[in-house]
Amino acid sequence: MKTFLSVTVLGIIVFNLVAIIEERDLFFGAWLGYAPANEARMEWNGDDSAAAEKSLREYLALLPHLYGTAGDIRFADRLPATDEVLGEIYADIRYLRSNHRRQDMRLVQLQILGKEPMGLGLIQILTKEYWVITTHISKQPQLQSPAHSNIVDSKYLLRREGSRWKVLAWDLLTTAPQAGM
């Protein structure tokens, strides 16, 4: 029995050592805190980056239509965003509507400042956006606010869902309001 137990324990140790050597990228990555090289190669490429950027551009192109129509569902259905992000947008639109306001937004220029893979199926995109925004007050049209421009540095986190990328989260890094136009 002692011999059987010694052979079994030795076999388990040898098996584990061989497994660690064979899958060293996986084990060393977990132990030392870096992603396995073959995983990054297999899951991330330039096409993913371009597709994620295209989805972000689509999101930013449709967003003004959603605000301008006070939340028309036809635009929401086409917006490449998760349900959580759509919920945030609709909460903002409901706030504007409850105060009898509607915003017309126009993206004048978009600069992509950087793209960084954040893991499997995730990418972070940093942008500088140039917006012109007009707020309309529905009860008193004569009180329409003058158009104003904002230069906004933003950070977007996009997640791949199937073959499509969707905005999972976003954050404003800085806002620099400019004089009225």
CA pair distance 160, 136, nearest whole angstrom: 36
Domain boundaries, the chain: 1-43, 45-177
The pLDDT value given to residue 60: 95
- Which CATH code, of 1.10.10.10, 3.10.450.240, 3.40.50.720, 3.30.2020.30, is assigned to 45-177? 3.10.450.240
The pLDDT value given to residue 179: 47
The pLDDT value given to residue 180: 45
Point out which residues pair with 159 in neighbouring strands: 122, 166
CA pair distance 129, 106, nearest whole angstrom: 10
* CB neighbour list of residue 57: distance below 8 Å, 6 or more residues apart: 110
Length of the chain: 181
Q: How does pLDDT run along the chain (181 residues), one tens digit per residue?
A: 888 888 888 888 877 777 767 666 555 555 555 554 444 444 556 678 899 999 999 999 999 988 888 888 887 888 999 999 999 999 999 998 888 888 889 999 999 999 999 888 899 999 999 999 988 887 776 666 778 888 999 999 999 988 899 999 999 986 554 544 4
How many Cβ atoms sit within 10 Å of the Cβ of residue 52? 26
The one-letter code for the residue type at 134 is T
